[in-house]
Amino acid sequence: MIPELSNPSVCMRDPQRVQEILQSMVKAGSNTVQVISDFDMTLTRFAYNGKRCPTCHNILDNSNLISNDCKIELKELLNTYYPIEIDSSRSIEEKLPLMVEWWTKAHELLVQQKIRKDLLAMVVQESDAMLREGYKLLFDHLYEHSIPLLIFSAGIGDILEEVIRQAGVFHPNVKVFSNYMDFDESGELRAFKGELIHIYNKREGALLNTGHFQELRTRPNVLLLGDSLGDLTMADGVHDMENILKIGFLNDKVNTISHSHGLYNVSIPLTSL
């Protein structure tokens, strides 16, 4: 067994099953493996030194590209909808339309701010964005072994790409599915491209990207990393899956959501800020 799995911060519903999955993947070899990961609060940290770290959206919301009035409105949206996102007493069916409402309203506000493409790198540089401990080892190791890493995020693609670029880990084996900004010829944000990705439609997003999974059809062993229940569907487009190891990072409301995170094979609760 991998020594890190005996760390007290790692929970496994069925350690025997985890062992079987791992053994089977090791036997099949790294050329049969692909990794699919969520971004916000999975590849990035939830908190550092007792302080919450920003999501892709928060990086923009807190930046000087946003007017003070708009910041207040975005904060109100966060205060209204984030508690709903992490409320385990409500069903996904009940939460889904509210999450669409959150993303739609927030994106409308961002578009009104005429954000400039050429300032995004600076905004990320000046933010408190932080990748999770061990990120470099993960990204570099996957690259060295030519293992594809799909980052599947309901955040903002332009921002997340900048975070991994500045951290020096945007290697050629990394592919991103996310919400991308659409800029006009003068470089100002005018809309978001394509279908909205929110936390509960990653399955649909996966099924739309058949080409990607078709290319990776010789890799039926999947390592899935996420922090929300919606992330469990990120691998639904994988062809003829043989093994999947689902690793969940339990960030907020660790005690109340622990039952639902039983859906992950391995879960890593964050016990305190």
Active site residues: 38, 40
Among 38, 61, 162, 252, binds Mg ion (CB under 5 A): 38
30 backbone dihedrals φ, ψ, rounded to 5°: -65, -20
Report, in this order, helix, strand and coil percent for the chain, each rounded to 5. Answer: 45, 20, 35
Contacts 24+ apart (CB under 8 A), 66-73: 66/110, 66/113, 66/115, 67/113, 70/109, 70/112, 70/113, 73/109
Question: Would you count residue 102 as binding ligand C5P (CB under 6 A)?
Answer: yes
- Output the smallest distance, CB 148 to Mg ion, in A: 20
Which residues lie across from 11 on neighbouring strands? 267
- Output the smallest distance, CB 66 to Mg ion, in A: 22
Nearer to ligand C5P, 22 or 120 (CB): 120
Tell me which residue of 43, 7, 100 sits closest to 249, measured CA to CA.
Answer: 43
Question: Would you count residue 155 as binding ligand C5P (CB under 6 A)?
Answer: yes
- Output the smallest distance, CB 83 to ligand C5P, in A: 10
* Site size with Mg ion, rule: CB under 5 A: 5
Among 22, 66, 103, 216, binds ligand C5P (CB under 6 A): 103
Question: Would you count residue 40 as binding ligand C5P (CB under 6 A)?
Answer: yes
CA 64 to chain centre: 24
Among 37, 127, 153, 233, binds ligand C5P (CB under 6 A): 153
Strand 47-48 relative to strand 243-250, pairing: unpaired
Question: Would you count residue 252 as binding Mg ion (CB under 5 A)?
Answer: no
Q: Are 68 and 256 in contact (CB under 8 A)?
A: no
- Residue ranges that bind ligand C5P, judged by CB under 6 A: 38-41, 55, 57-58, 82, 85, 102-103, 106, 153-155, 199, 228
